[in-house]
């Protein structure tokens, strides 16, 4: 019997084998999309009796917001205000300072032209009046006289920080990772292996019965010899044939799924929900907390 491997291959339903695998992948992608829709609907929105989404689910919490910073207490200070910088002063020609005829210790900063950049009074200054003028003792009469005046800053009491209770509501969908699985690639590997074995054996055994015999005799010199011969012939013919076919199939499907970017519609919904996140005052009471 003649065997043809092509006949075996042509009998395989490749369209159903490969098409069935691809159909399963398409259904898996569809199920993944429906899972995403159900997750958004059931997790992110309140549902009415008919199962329709009515409004987003919010997560609310309160927190204290600082509306006024803490201000530490400040003692009364006396600052020197440079009203006119002057010109030509040096550390050598300045011999000292007086305020109201009383000598004071002042630290000064001069630029390269001998003009006052700043001045700081050192030591106790309780008896110095606000607005008193500083007299610069200088032996160089060619300098352009600077004008420095005293400015008193009143003492300030400690001011505690002020906090306002705020309430914030955040849509829960903006806080959760939304599952959106996309099948990026599908590899289908179909292996078909056909093993065939054909054994044919034949044997011929022929026999024929002749049914005959012969006798030969000899006499002479006082002796006598006789011999008898017989023969038979038979014929026999045997024929056998064996054929064996083995088929092996293997189907490997590799699916690579990834977390895809949000579709434009879902992304727009999340943007709208994020815009609704606005803090509001929980109550009108302002809490004062000591630093």
Chain segment 217-255, per-residue pLDDT in tens: 545 444 454 555 555 555 555 555 566 666 666 767 777
The band of 290, judged by pLDDT with boundaries at 50, 70 and 90, is very low
Note whether 44 and 93 are same-domain residues: no
Query: Is residue 193 scored above 70 in pLDDT?
Result: no
Question: Which pLDDT score is estimated for 242?
Answer: 60
pLDDT for the residue 221 = 47
d(CA 128, CA 27): 91
Residues 52, 93, single domain; the answer is no
Q: Using alpha carbons, list the distances in angstroms from residue 13 to 6, 25, 71, 179, 192.
A: 13, 19, 85, 37, 12
Distance of CA 220 to the CA centre of its chain: 124
In this prediction, residue 291 carries a pLDDT of: 42
* 149 and 87 both lie in a single domain: yes
Q: How many structural domains compose the chain?
A: 2
Work out the angle at residue 67's Cα, subtended by the Cα atoms of residues 61 and 69, and round it to the nearest 5 degrees.
125
What is the rounded CA–CA span in Å between residue 198 and residue 31?
50
What pLDDT is attached to residue 55? 85
Whether 218 is in a domain gets the answer yes
Q: Is the pLDDT of residue 14 over 80?
A: no
Please indicate, yes or no, whether residues 112 and 247 belong to a single structural domain of this protein. Answer: no
Is position 279 within any domain? no
Residue 272 within any structural domain of the chain: no
β 212-220/223-231 pair status: antiparallel
State whether 192 and 238 are in the same domain. yes
For residue 261, is pLDDT > 90? no
87-119: buried (b, 16+ CB within 10 Å) or exposed (e) per residue?
ebbeeebbeebebeeeebebebebeeebbbeeb
Instruction: Please report whether residue 171 resides in a domain.
Output: no
Positive or negative, the CA dihedral 23, 24, 26, 30 is: positive
The pLDDT of residue 23 is 86
- The angle formed by the CA atoms of residues 77, 82 and 87, to the nearest 5 degrees, is 150
- Domain span at residue 236 reads 5-56+181-260
**Whether 141 and 196 share a structural domain:** no
- Residues 114 and 247 grouped into a single domain: no
**Do 47 and 185 share a domain, yes or no?**
yes
Query: Does residue 189 fall inside a structural domain?
Result: yes
Task: Judge whether residue 165 has pLDDT over 50.
Answer: yes
Tokens matching residue 158:
């400690």
> Which pLDDT belongs to residue 214?
53
The pair phi, psi for residue 132, each rounded to 5°, is: -65, 145
pTM of the predicted model as reported, rounded to 2 decimal places: 0.45
Higher pLDDT, 202 or 151: 151
Label residue 175 left, alpha or beta by phi (over 0 means left) and psi (-120 to 50 means alpha). Answer: alpha
Whether residues 52 and 81 fall in one domain: no
């Amino acid at each position: 019997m003649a065997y043809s491997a092509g006949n075996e291959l042509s009998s395989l339903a490749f369209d159903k084998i490969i098409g069935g695998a691809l159909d399963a992948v398409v259904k898996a992608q569809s199920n993944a999309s429906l899972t995403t829709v159900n997750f958004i609907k059931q997790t992110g929105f309140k549902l009415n009796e008919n199962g329709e989404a009515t409004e987003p689910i919010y997560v609310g919490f309160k927190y204290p917001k600082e509306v006024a910073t803490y201000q530490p207490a400040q003692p009364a200070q006396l600052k020197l205000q440079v009203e006119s910088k002057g010109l030509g002063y040096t550390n050598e020609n300045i011999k000292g300072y007086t305020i109201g005829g009383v000598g004071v210790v002042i630290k000064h900063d001069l630029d390269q032209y001998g003009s006052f950049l700043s001045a700081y009074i050192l030591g106790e200054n309780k008896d110095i009046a606000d607005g008193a003028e500083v007299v610069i003792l200088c032996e160089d009469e060619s300098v352009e006289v600077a004008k420095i005046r005293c400015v008193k800053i009143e003492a300030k009491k400690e001011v505690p920080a002020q906090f306002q209770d705020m309430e914030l509501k955040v849509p829960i969908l903006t806080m959760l990772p939304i599952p959106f699985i996309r099948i990026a690639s599908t590899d289908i590997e179909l292996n078909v292996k056909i093993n065939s074995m054909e054994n044919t054996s034949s044997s011929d055994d022929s026999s024929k019965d002749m049914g005959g015999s012969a006798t030969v005799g000899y006499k002479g010199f006082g002796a006598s010899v006789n011999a008898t011969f017989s023969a038979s012939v038979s014929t026999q013919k045997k024929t056998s044939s064996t054929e064996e076919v083995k088929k092996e199939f293997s189907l490997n499907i590799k699916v690579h799924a990834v977390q895809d970017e949000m579709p434009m519609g879902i992304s727009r919904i999340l943007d709208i929900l994020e815009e609704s996140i606005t803090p509001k005052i929980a109550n009108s009471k302002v809490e004062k907390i000591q630093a």
